[in-house]
Amino acid sequence: MIQEKITTRDRLISAALKLFYAEGIGAVTVDAIAAKAGVTKRTLYYHFSSKDDLIVAYLEAKDQPSRALMQRWFDETRGDIAAKTRGIFLNLAQSACHAKWKGCGFLRTSAELANLPGHPALKVGANHKKRFEGWLQQQYEQARIFDATRLARQVILLLDGSFSVVLLHKDPSYMETAGDAAYRLVTAALQTVDRTAEIEPIPLRSAS
């Protein structure tokens, strides 16, 4: 019984993920999500009390996978953290070439909800971005960069800028340009690495 409920809920979230990302939260009806999930509207409302609940669930479902993907791109890029940072942008440029790519679901949702400042989905979007910014900051701190907070914010600004600009111009080369800018900023920051600190450098990866 519990198993069945989880599966139905998952099917609904999966349908919401596909439709909200492809069409936008305003353009998609609750009926369309129920139909895509193959359930009745009554069943949908058993799991989600409103469309707003579904929007929140959509962004919550995107949070961890989106961050994991960008972190994997960073980890898998060879070179120093400037090159690794650029690796995120270069991989993103590849993704943006796909016909189904429609920018950043979190930013697009926040643009659609600009008239509803208290909407709970905005909090989910803001938390997602802050978590990724925090992770990036941690990477820069581990590399002993002096102002890791500011550097992480600058890279996030370039990243979110490239989502918005590429969505507008349909030209993924802007992501490569943003990656170049991030590479320059991280490289410049690496020259300010705090070499006077008395603590031992924190290893980038724990031994396993």
Reference 139, options 74, 184, 45, 61; nearest CA is 74
- The residue within the footprint of a copy of itself, chosen from 115, 191, 206, 208 (CB under 8 A), is 115
Stretch binding a copy of itself (CB under 8 A), from 40-48, 58-66, 74-82, 105-113: 105-113
DSSP code, position 99: T
Residue 163: strand, helix, or coil: helix
Q: Is 120 in the site for a copy of itself (CB under 8 A)?
A: no
Instruction: Please state the closest distance from residue 30 (CB atom) to a copy of itself, in A.
Output: 16
Question: What are the C-alpha distances in Å from 120 to residues 15, 52, 81, 93, 116?
Answer: 20, 8, 34, 30, 9
Dist. CA 164–CA 174, nearest whole Å: 10
Q: Which residue from 130, 192, 194, 204 is in contact with a copy of itself, where contact means CB under 8 A?
A: 130
Residues that bind a copy of itself (CB under 8 A): 22-24, 26-27, 102-103, 106-108, 110-112, 114-115, 117, 122, 125-126, 129-130, 150, 153-154, 156-165, 167-170, 174, 177-178, 180-181, 184-185, 188
